[in-house]
A and B are shown apart, each in its own frame.
Chain A
Amino acid sequence: MGIQCTLRENELRSWGRAIQSLCLMGGNEVQLQFTDVALTLTTCDDAISTFASLSFNNTFFSSYECEATDADNLHCKIPTKCLLKPFRSLKFLTKCASECSIEFSSNSDNLNITIITKFGAKISYSLHLTSNTELLQLDFDSNSLKSNVTCDAKLILGSLSNFHEAKGDLTLKIDETKMSLRNSITDLVQKQGKVYTELSLNAVDFIEYTLQQDCQVTFPFREFKTFVVFADTMRLPVTLRFMSQSTPVVVSIIGKEGTYEGSLTLGNRSHPDLVENDSRNGNLVTSIDAGSERLNNGSVTVSTTNGSVPRVRKKRPLLFPNLGRVIPSKVIPLIILSDSEIDE
């Protein structure tokens, strides 16, 4: 099974921006999943607090030939730094590149990317894949989040530019009339105290403003801003979905003519009991089955496909719980080890 797809000059810039943004939002690996209808890139940070996904329909590409169906699970994982190399320079892609082709075969250890320039030169990359072949998927339905707001990305980006630094967390507080964005960072100049920044947006400025109930959610600032910057460069509206303090926040965009979709699922840090990641407060967990349930204190399980028998382990509360479940295509779960467990 394999795939070969081609991007022309017009799509190449969007693709380059998408890759760069995805690499900024995630961790060390990017997963590429190929089906006959779409190419999906996903990445998850090490703390499993953010899960970014970009899905490009076959109509986005100038040509798209894929032998795999959805059931075939044709996918690969590649280190973020490797995937970034051909698309590192937007200036080069805009100025020199006229076409880019991506090839992958299920029996290959490499992802092949070829860029053809406007003056006839050809640059070929044969990028090594990681040995980790587990398929990562987010098992969470964003439609279950009943509150959603939609606005131009420029509106949010303009608001975020008023914040001193895109670090730490951003709190979103929303009611019927307005949405407030708020954060606090340590005063870096005097090394004491905090700088609180709060900005409000009126409900009338939004394209859509559907609220099930007033709520307050807190999520990572940097990844959120990266996604909004990407949406702004693509000139797309941004939709935020949320419901309560115990559910994730999902930020999504839909490309022009529906040729691509992007979503960023952010762990909600609003749980009052969870302030720091402290393995000494780990809870005992019992009998984890396939399709593991969310635990009462909102911690998260990550499942892999290595076939190990689930064991009882101490669990550490994660910094950003309630992300949902991240499960593989196969269902034997493991619990994240605490630091003391890892040292054993």
Chain B
Amino acid sequence: MEQNGFLNTQERAQDNPGDYKFIGIVNHIPIIANLVKSIAFTSKVNVSVMERGIMFTVEEGKYIQASVTVLRDVFEKFTLSSTDLEINFKIPSKELLDCLKFFLSDSRSGESFSTAGATSSEVPISSLKVMYKSYGNPFMILLDENGVITDFQIKTEPFENELMEMIMEDSVVAKLILTAEPMSDLLGEFEGSNPEHIRISIYPNKEIKMSCDGVAGFMTCVIPHNSDIVQGFECLVECHATYKFQVLRHTFKAMNMSQTMSIKIDSVGVLCLTFLMPAKTDSFVEFYILPNTLEDNFPTDELEIV
């Protein structure tokens, strides 16, 4: 049985491969499925197919924008029509995840439902082929499992051009690189308090502090700059910002899957969390979160420097 069943099979009889603006074949289905699941907290996802790969982007309530970039190196085959620099469309998240659901998992190890408990001889050989013809046509997913091909067609919508532009590279005032797993454990402790807001403060050459005020009382978590989990710590000025905890919670799935993460805050408090995924895919998940505009009702006497 060929591992990449699609590579040598005929396309659908009535279609010409040249009719498709994009054709991609990938074998690392569980990892990609979990990457997409980590940002599927909205009903629709924007898909951008570019030279470097595919980017899935979601946005919720103008508070948070998340994107997953799957680089073209991950694909066994990646064909983009020569006339298009970029192909954009929007598809529903639920239907996309339904197509990939058998490859989803919740564990850090990435073991999926389709491989859980299976021996090496029993693991099904799977390939995923994605195709897009043109504007107005559905996004096609063909799933090949040991020769059994399942055909999905997801209706597309026009790409959402009103996504927030989270430009912050030039104005970054603090950048930290940390190991993701302990950070996930620490933020998991905040979930017990179920706070409405969480305040993040970064002090130059000192520490990052996260604090919240919940029903039970006040909770603070301090990570010193020389902690074992901090791989890089750059902070130009003391900065503080408050974010909705429910919004920050959207990042937890990606954090659980990641090995390394970075935290960046710019001069207006926009928070950028980037999660680097295991080396197999070289993909990353990025979140941009806007701060709360009002700083009232928060028990602190620290000055906020913008």
Question: Which residues of A approach B to under 8 Å, CB–CB?
Answer: 79, 81-82, 85-86, 88-89, 92, 95-96, 110, 117-128
Q: Is the CB of B218 within 8 A of A126?
A: yes
Contacts of A122 in B (CB 8 A): 221-222
Closest 9 CB pairs of A and B: A120-B227, A82-B216, A119-B228, A127-B217, A126-B218, A121-B223, A124-B220, A88-B192, A119-B229
Assign chain B's interface to a size class.
20 to 34
In the complex, how many angstroms separate the beta carbon of B212 from the nearest chain A beta carbon?
Answer: 11
Query: Total contacts A to B, CB within 8 angstroms?
Result: 66
Binary per-residue interface labels of chain B (214-251) against chain A in the complex, 1 for a CB within 8 Å, 0 otherwise: 00111111111011110000000000000000000000
**Cβ of B186 < 8 Å from any Cβ of A?**
yes
Q: Is the CB of B189 within 8 A of A127?
A: no
Tell me whether A123 and B216 are in contact in the complex, defined as CB-CB below 8 angstroms, given that A85-B193, A89-B192 are known contacts.
no
Q: Is the CB of B227 within 8 A of A124?
A: no
Contacts of A127 in B (CB 8 A): 216-217
* CB<8 Å pairs between A and B, sample of 21: A82-B217, A85-B216, A85-B219, A89-B188, A89-B192, A92-B185, A95-B185, A117-B186, A118-B228, A119-B228, A120-B224, A120-B227, A120-B228, A120-B229, A121-B221, A121-B222, A121-B223, A123-B189, A123-B220, A125-B217, A126-B217
In terms of DSSP, what is the predominant structure of the interface of chain A? mixed
Q: Is the CB of B219 within 8 A of A124?
A: yes
User: Cα distance A79–B214 when bound, in Å?
Assistant: 14
**Cβ of B17 < 8 Å from any Cβ of A?**
no
Given contacts A89-B188, A120-B224, A125-B219, list 5 more A-B pairs with CB under 8 A: A79-B216, A95-B185, A119-B182, A120-B226, A120-B227
Tell me whether A123 and B186 are in contact in the complex, defined as CB-CB below 8 angstroms, given that A82-B216, A85-B192, A128-B216 are known contacts.
yes
Binary per-residue interface labels of chain B (178-222) against chain A in the complex, 1 for a CB within 8 Å, 0 otherwise: 000010011011001100000000000000000000001111111
Q: Is the CB of A96 within 8 A of B220?
A: no
In the complex, how many angstroms separate the beta carbon of B261 from the nearest chain A beta carbon?
Answer: 15
In terms of DSSP, what is the predominant structure of the interface of chain B? mixed
Q: Is the CB of A89 within 8 A of B189?
A: yes
Could you tell me which residues of chain B, from 156 to 177, have a CB within 8 Å of some CB in chain A?
none
User: Cα distance A121–B217 when bound, in Å?
Assistant: 20
Q: Closest residue to A82 on the B side, CB-wise? A: B216
A85, A121, A126: most-surrounded residue (chain B CB, <10 A): A121
Contacts of B185 in A (CB 8 A): 92, 95-96
Tell me whether A123 and B221 are in contact in the complex, defined as CB-CB below 8 angstroms, given that A117-B182, A128-B216 are known contacts.
yes
Q: Is the CB of B219 within 8 A of A123?
A: yes
User: Cα distance A118–B219 when bound, in Å?
Assistant: 19
Tell me whether A121 and B186 are in contact in the complex, defined as CB-CB below 8 angstroms, given that A85-B192, A85-B193, A89-B192 are known contacts.
yes
Contacts of B188 in A (CB 8 A): 89, 92
Contacts of B221 in A (CB 8 A): 121-124
Q: Closest residue to B193 on the A side, CB-wise? A: A85
Q: Closest residue to B179 on the A side, CB-wise? A: A119
Contacts of B189 in A (CB 8 A): 86, 88-89, 92, 123
**B227 touches which one: A89, A92, A119, A123 (CB < 8 A)?**
A119
Contacts of A86 in B (CB 8 A): 189
**A81 touches which one: B182, B216, B220, B222 (CB < 8 A)?**
B216
In the complex, how many angstroms separate the beta carbon of A118 from the nearest chain B beta carbon?
Answer: 8
Q: Closest residue to A88 on the B side, CB-wise? A: B192
In the complex, how many angstroms separate the beta carbon of B259 from the nearest chain A beta carbon?
Answer: 15
In the complex, how many angstroms separate the beta carbon of A76 from the nearest chain B beta carbon?
Answer: 13
User: Cα distance A110–B224 when bound, in Å?
Assistant: 25
In the complex, how many angstroms separate the beta carbon of B58 from the nearest chain A beta carbon?
Answer: 29
**B182 touches which one: A82, A88, A121 (CB < 8 A)?**
A121
Could you tell me which residues of chain B, from 249 to 291, have a CB within 8 Å of some CB in chain A?
none
User: Cα distance A82–B217 when bound, in Å?
Assistant: 8
Contacts of A96 in B (CB 8 A): 182, 185-186
A85, A119, A126, A128: most-surrounded residue (chain B CB, <10 A): A119
Q: Closest residue to B214 on the A side, CB-wise? A: A85
Contacts of B226 in A (CB 8 A): 120
Contacts of B227 in A (CB 8 A): 119-121
User: Cα distance A119–B227 when bound, in Å?
Assistant: 6
Contacts of B186 in A (CB 8 A): 96, 117, 121, 123
Contacts of B193 in A (CB 8 A): 85
User: Cα distance A126–B220 when bound, in Å?
Assistant: 9
Q: Closest residue to A96 on the B side, CB-wise? A: B185
User: Cα distance A176–B216 when bound, in Å?
Assistant: 50
In the complex, how many angstroms separate the beta carbon of B215 from the nearest chain A beta carbon?
Answer: 8
Q: Closest residue to A91 on the B side, CB-wise? A: B185
User: Cα distance A118–B228 when bound, in Å?
Assistant: 9
Q: Is the CB of A128 within 8 A of B217?
A: yes
In the complex, how many angstroms separate the beta carbon of A232 from the nearest chain B beta carbon?
Answer: 25
Q: Closest residue to A109 on the B side, CB-wise? A: B217
User: Cα distance A128–B220 when bound, in Å?
Assistant: 15
Could you tell me which residues of chain B, from 116 to 142, have a CB within 8 Å of some CB in chain A?
none
Q: Closest residue to A123 on the B side, CB-wise? A: B221
User: Cα distance A242–B221 when bound, in Å?
Assistant: 47
User: Cα distance A126–B182 when bound, in Å?
Assistant: 22
User: Cα distance A124–B188 when bound, in Å?
Assistant: 14
Q: Closest residue to B224 on the A side, CB-wise? A: A120
Q: Is the CB of A121 within 8 A of B229?
A: yes
User: Cα distance A117–B186 when bound, in Å?
Assistant: 9
In the complex, how many angstroms separate the beta carbon of A150 from the nearest chain B beta carbon?
Answer: 37
